[in-house]
A and B are shown apart, each in its own frame.
Chain A
Amino acid sequence: MTTSYNLKMLRVNLTEKSIKTEILDEALAKKFIGGRGLGTKILYDEGVAKVDPLSPANKLVFINGPLTGCNVPTGGRYMVVTKSPLTGMIASSNSGGVWGARLKYAGYDAVIVEGKADAPVYLSIHDDKVELLPAGDLWGKESTVVEEILKEKHGKDASVLNIGPAGEQLFELACIMNEADRAAGRSGVGAVMGSKMLKAIVCASTRTVIEPFDKEKLREVVTESLRKIRENGVTGQGLPTYGTAVLVNIVNNIGSFPTRNWQESYFADADKTSGETLKEKYLVKQGYCHRCPIGCGRVINLNGKTVGGPEYEPIWAYGANCGVEDLEAINEANYWCNELGLDAIGAPTTIAAAMELYQKGYLKDEDCDGVPLVWGSAKAIVEWTKHMGYGDNKLGRLMASGSYRLCDHYGVPEFSMSVKKQEMPAYDARGIQGIGITYATSNRGGCHVRGYMISPEVLGLPEPLNRLATEGKATWTKIFQDLTAVIDSSGMCLFTSFALGAPDYAGLLNAATGTNYDVEGVLKVGERIYNIERLFNKEAGMVAGDDTLPKRILNEPIPSGPSKGEVSKLNITLPQYYEVRGWVDAFPTEATLKRLDLL
């Protein structure tokens, strides 16, 4: 029977220099969909939760969803799943571009990388021909340089995924890049790749289509999904025209736009860094991932060079959060994150933490290598991003380990605006109560895309919720988290969820793979995925108190602006959340595990 899974995985052991093809069990794949869900299940079963993240015992899974490579809107995404060196818990970072689809067309649902090479290598996949090749000449080189060299060698249609100097030096903020500006950005996945001395994976394929289970049915549901995406104001107009950075003005105008390392939450100069300004001054054209009808990407002009532009998150993190109003400097700093392989949320939020350390006297001028970490310094955000990525001075290396380790080093971990040691993104949980539950309970630490409560609480989608209220937020968060787990595991982009809902994803998965999900069924798989991640974290040593927010968010009211006086009411919402999840003290009960077929 045809299915959009290849039912084949590669297992590459770098210590033994061996490459094997394994069969992927179809029933197991369907139980966890693929991507984030299946990747976590594989690692959990193989005992990875207990290992040292930067040791050869850690494993790195590059994994597609069943819709990756299919003719479905945004069907081109892959996940990198591993144990995070930043959080010590599960890492699963999602990326677009075309790399995931190339892997799928080459014939594999996943690549599992184990062990550690004794010298830099890269993996070349071209259909059945899979080989490890020396990468000594690539080591130390920036992302687009590596891409250019490998495309020259393997053909222009080959897709290249790689780490920059940050990953090579095992920095906890290192990411994995593909197609120059697409990133599996968070949780330090690039450091794990660096610890294995694996510089890049090149993927090329002869095949360019995936046969689904039911071609006619898939065409029908895709037509309907495309119609919804085109007619939806966000996916049909807002994102294509202004990109994600259109949020700058909205979130600032509700006074929940963290400013100067969350000491305030309104930035008077926000509009100078907005999506509107980016479009007016720097936009060259939209950027698209594989099979994407939305094109939220920004291709911009940076000093005469055409490069990938910043998303909302880095614009906020380098902008308001560092007190910087200079959009050109933000564009440049973001470019260096991509070139050097740094998480474009973690790196700038750590610079913001360093600026608070400087403001309060913990960091001195003599620590700053001639570029003081003062609020609003355009020079500081660019230069310190380079120091972090290249690791060319002491403070830069310490900063590249993330804000928690940096602030802890100076005895003030509370200046790190992180959850489970991963930095929180661009929405103040004091002024938006539901997103605080998402941050606190996200299995990979501070993160907005594990249950995007901004959608109902700020954008009013699918229906408006009062952002300051706590009532009902626990249930909403759980549903958003479970649906997100489905989307992340399917191979589609989360941004489609502004227009599509659970029935659409169930329909697409059923037509592609032959499953028979209804809405309840597909959300149950999402819940199963959320719970297996939690089991991974438990085995990795997570404790109940880890589901929390920084003291500043819980105890220090927003000092001014439209959300003045607000703090997070996590003390009310967290117990409610555990109840709707069927968890006690942060972990699933036996009854919950049984209900989800996890026992």
Chain B
Amino acid sequence: MIEIRLFATLRENRGKILFFEPENFRDADSILHELNIPASDVAILLINGMHSQPRDSVKDGDVIALFPPVGGG
């Protein structure tokens, strides 16, 4: 399974945590596509806690976290 964690506005109408079968997804971009999230809406994409790009590959057991533009201090 691939665990998808959504945050802030990306949660709207989608929920907080989703699980996807790994077979159907090669990279983070294919997951964004499935979720109907334009890549431009994602400011931070983490794969297992490391900053990543939509083209980066994903595999069984990965945790993917997606954030829109946010900040603070």
User: Is A460 a contact of B8 with CB atoms below 8 Å?
Assistant: no
Whether the Cβ atoms of A237 and B43 lie closer than 8 Å is: no
Residue with the greatest number of chain B CB neighbours at <10 A, chosen from A246, A312, A448, A452: A246
Partner of B70, one of A242, A254, A464, A563: A242
- Most chain A CB neighbours (cut-off 10 Å) among B9, B11, B72: B72
Q: Counting CB contacts under 8 A, is A495 at the interface? A: yes
Task: State whether A242 touches B8 (Cβ < 8 A).
Answer: yes
A276-B9 Cα distance, complex, nearest whole Å: 9
Given contacts A241-B8, A276-B8, A459-B43, contact A561 B71 (CB under 8 A): no
CB distance from A378 to the nearest CB of B (A): 23
Q: Are A464 and B51 in contact (CB under 8 A)?
A: yes
B15 within 8 A of A: no
Bound-state CA distance A237–B71 (Å) is 10
Give the residues from 8 to 28 in chain B that come closer than 8 angstroms, CB to CB, to chain A. Answer: 8-9, 11, 16
List chain B residues, Cβ under 8 A from A494. 73
CA gap between A494 and B11 in the complex, in Å: 28
A459 is contacted by which of B7, B46, B70 (Cβ under 8 Å)?
A: B70
Asked whether, in the complex, the Cβ of A243 is within 8 Å of the Cβ of B43, the reply is: no
Name B69's closest neighbour in chain A (CB-CB): A233
The CA-CA distance from A253 to B7 in the complex, in Å, is 11
| B67 partner, pick from A249, A454, A455, beta carbons under 8 A | A249
CB pair B46 A312 closer than 8 Å: no
With a cutoff of 8 Å between Cβ atoms, the chain B residues found around residue A313 in the complex are 73
Q: Is the CB of B71 within 8 A of A461?
A: yes
**B72 cross-chain contacts in A, Cβ below 8 A:** 238-239, 243-247, 275, 296, 311-312, 495
Question: For residue B73, which residues in chain A have a CB less than 8 angstroms away from its CB?
Answer: 244, 247, 312-313, 448-449, 452, 454, 494-495
| CB neighbours of A234 from chain B (8 A) | 69-71
Residue among A296, A459, A561 with the highest chain B CB neighbour number at 10 A? A459
Contacts of B16 in A (CB 8 A): 271
Whether a CB of chain B sits under 8 angstroms from the CB of A444 is: no
A279 to chain B, nearest CB (A): 9
Q: Considering the chains assembled together, what is the distance between the CA atoms of A397 and B45 in angstroms?
A: 45
Range of interface residues on A (Cβ < 8 Å): 35 or more
Q: Does any Cβ of B come within 8 Å of A85's Cβ?
A: no
Q: Which of A238, A243, A464 has the most CB of B within 10 A?
A: A238
Q: Judge whether B49 and A255 touch: CB under 8 Å.
A: yes
Tell me which of B8, B70, B71, B73 has the highest count of chain A C-beta atoms within 10 A of its own C-beta.
B71
Q: How far is the CA of A232 from the CA of B68 in the complex (A)?
A: 12
Q: Is A467 an interface residue (CB 8 A)?
A: yes
Smallest CB separation, A133 vs chain B (Å) = 37
- The answer for the CA separation of A233 and B10 in the assembled complex, in Å, is 13
Q: How many Å from the CB of B65 to the closest CB on chain A? A: 4
Question: Which residues of B pack against A, CB within 8 Å?
Answer: 5, 7-9, 11, 16, 43-44, 46, 48-51, 65, 67-73
A250 within 8 Å of B (CB atoms): yes
Q: Nearest-CB distance from B68 to chain A (Å)? A: 7
The 7 A-B residue pairs with the shortest CB-CB distance in the complex, in nearest-first order: A562-B49, A233-B69, A244-B72, A238-B70, A234-B71, A246-B70, A253-B65
Whether A253 lies near B71 (C-beta < 8 A) is no
A233-B49 CB under 8 A given contacts A247-B70, A250-B7: no
Q: Is the CB of A561 within 8 A of B70?
A: no
Interface residues of chain A, those whose CB is within 8 Å of chain B, are 232-235, 237-239, 241-247, 249-250, 253-255, 271, 274-276, 296, 311-313, 448-449, 452, 454-455, 458-461, 464, 466-467, 494-495, 498, 561-563
Per the bound structure, the CA–CA distance linking A253 and B5 in Å amounts to 9
**A464 → B minimal CB distance (Å):** 6
Chain B residue numbers with a CB within 8 Å of A459 are 43-44, 70-71
Residues of A within 8 A of B68 (CB): 233, 237-238
Chain B min CB distance to A322 (Å)? 20
| Distance (whole angstroms) from the CB of A481 to the closest CB of chain B | 14
Assess the A455–B48 pair: CB atoms within 8 A.
Answer: no
Do residues A238 and B49 form an inter-chain contact, with CB atoms below 8 A? no
B44: chain A residues within 8 A (beta carbon): 250, 458-460
Most chain A beta carbons < 10 A, residue from B7, B65, B70: B70
Q: Are B43 and A246 in contact (CB under 8 A)?
A: no
Closest chain A CB from B64 CB (angstroms): 10
Q: Give 19 A-B contacts (CB < 8 Å), ordered by A residue.
A: A232-B69, A234-B69, A238-B70, A239-B70, A241-B8, A246-B8, A247-B71, A247-B73, A250-B44, A254-B49, A271-B16, A275-B70, A275-B72, A276-B7, A311-B72, A459-B44, A495-B72, A495-B73, A563-B49
- A239, A243, A253, A460: the one within 8 Å of B49 (CB): A253
Query: With the chains together, A466 CA to B49 CA distance in Å?
Result: 12
Query: Complex formed: what's the CA distance from A235 to B43 in Å?
Result: 13
Q: Give A556 to B70 CA distance when docked, in angstroms.
A: 30
Contact A460 B70 (CB under 8 A): no
Measured CA separation A466–B69 after assembly (Å) = 18
Known: A246-B70, A455-B71. A460 touches B5 (CB 8 A): no
Contact assessment for A237 and B69 in the assembled complex, using a CB-CB cutoff below 8 Å: yes
Determine the distance from Cα of A244 to Cα of B71 in the docked complex, in whole angstroms: 6
What is the CB-to-nearest-CB distance from B66 to chain A, in angstroms, rounded to a whole number?
10
Q: Which single residue of chain A is at the shortest CB-CB distance from B65?
A: A253
